[in-house]
Amino acid sequence: MSAVRVSMAHVAERAGVSAQTVSRVANGSPRVDPATRARVEKAMADLGYRMHRAARALRTGQTSTIGLVVSTLASVGNSRMLQAISEAAAAREYALAVVTVGERGIRDAFARLRSQGVDGAVVLNEATELARDVDPPADLHVVVVDSPPDDRFSIVQTDHAGGARAATAHLLSLGHGTVHHLAGPPGSFAATERERGWREALADAGITPPDPVRGDWTSASGHLAADALGAATAVFVSNDQMALGALRAFAESGRDVPGDVAVVGFDDIVDAAEYRPPLTTVRQDFDALGRQAVAALVAAIEGAAPVVETVPAALVVRASSARA
């Protein structure tokens, strides 16, 4: 049977479900149990069924397009999230429109997405601070990645504090008397949460936290900030890019890693295992974040109440951390 002539009724008959259930699966609704969804998707594949995007828009008033609002794509974390959200959207047969927050601010970003007819938007990382100060348009469903509680929209976030606690506890378990922190920029939710986890781990050990040193997420800022860490023997760095800069600075000053100073990063970017030495770090599950952000947005488009989803972070031990 050709893909052109296949209808929802054909798929429903093959899968043994109602046409309404087929419609929910085709529209990416989360309100279908996994076994039924798998059966319908197999029937679609067997019959060569494809939902026509324009026909869906005419029938439902939705374009099957979602937006992504981002402050920058220069950071590794943001580019990884773009890839994860793009793949998650494609899996649900949604197109993706990307806008950056420029000089005209997040209101303009929302307006640009509305002009493209998107059904909803994911607001990513640093842009979420801007979103908290602006009410999104009433007809634009919004999910934010990394944000304090907010009843206006769903939130998907990494357990930044939990990951930071694990990193700090790991360094303390290696016999270091304290752990210094190369923190991210002020105003960043992720940086604030990672600093909180670091402070909590030290407090649990009865240690007064030393003053943190700050960077701006770039490896260059990590290189510059490393001098201010003095004779620290253990450093928890708020992301892997700054850790790369710190490793270079320590090498230039003749300090061996991990012999003289142990270093732990955060993110587990693709190249972290190729650093010299390979970097101990906290792994963010960017793929899970992307899937959950898109799932929460599709649910919001279909009328679900806002939710808060937290994705665990896992410590990955490599050669950059060792006993004091």
Residue 322 lies in a domain: no
My answer on whether 272 and 258 are in the same domain is yes
Residue 84 lies in a domain: yes
Number of folded domains that form the chain: 3
β-pair partners for 214: 183
pLDDT of residue 129: 67
Q: What span, in angstroms and rounded, lies between the C-alpha atoms of 262 and 281?
A: 11
pLDDT of residue 127: 64
Q: What span, in angstroms and rounded, lies between the C-alpha atoms of 314 and 158?
A: 10
Residue 319 lies in a domain: no
* Residue 131, domain extent: 65-158+286-311
pLDDT of residue 124: 86
Q: Parallel, antiparallel, or unpaired for β 308-311 and 95-100?
A: unpaired
My answer on whether 172 and 271 are in the same domain is yes
Residue 24 lies in a domain: yes
pLDDT of residue 61: 47
Inter-residue contact 216 to 225 (CB < 8 Å): no
My answer on whether 230 and 292 are in the same domain is no
Q: What span, in angstroms and rounded, lies between the C-alpha atoms of 68 and 82?
A: 8
**SS3 track for the chain:** CCCCCCCHHHHHHHHCCCHHHHHHHHCCCCCCCHHHHHHHHHHHHHHCCCCCHHHHHHHHCCCCEEEEEECCCCCHHHHHHHHHHHHHHHHCCCEEEEEECCCCHHHHHHHHHHHCCCCEEEEECCHHHHHHCCCCCCCCEEEEECCCCCCCCEEEEECHHHHHHHHHHHHHHCCCCCCEEEECCCCCHHHHHHHHHHHHHHHHCCCCCCCCEECCCCHHHHHHHHHHHCCCCEEEECCHHHHHHHHHHHHHCCCCCCCCCEEECCECCCCHHHCCCCCEEEECCHHHHHHHHHHHHHHHHCCCCCCEEEECCEEECCCCCCCC
Residue 187 lies in a domain: yes
Residue 275 lies in a domain: yes
Q: What span, in angstroms and rounded, lies between the C-alpha atoms of 218 and 220?
A: 5
My answer on whether 134 and 249 are in the same domain is no
pLDDT of residue 130: 66
Could you count the other beta carbons within 10 Å of the beta carbon of residue 111?
Answer: 14
Residue 72 lies in a domain: yes
Contacts (Cβ under 8 Å, ≥6 apart) of 20: none
pLDDT of residue 7: 78
My answer on whether 168 and 277 are in the same domain is yes
My answer on whether 133 and 168 are in the same domain is no
My answer on whether 111 and 258 are in the same domain is no
Report, as ranges of residue numbers, the positions in the chain whose pLDDT lies below 70.
Answer: 1-5, 27-28, 50-63, 125-132
Rounded to 5 degrees, φ, ψ at 263 are: -130, 135
My answer on whether 42 and 180 are in the same domain is no
My answer on whether 173 and 143 are in the same domain is no
Q: Where residue 185 sits, what CATH number does that domain have?
A: 3.40.50.2300
Global pTM reads: 0.78
Inter-residue contact 178 to 218 (CB < 8 Å): no
pLDDT of residue 302: 86
My answer on whether 175 and 272 are in the same domain is yes
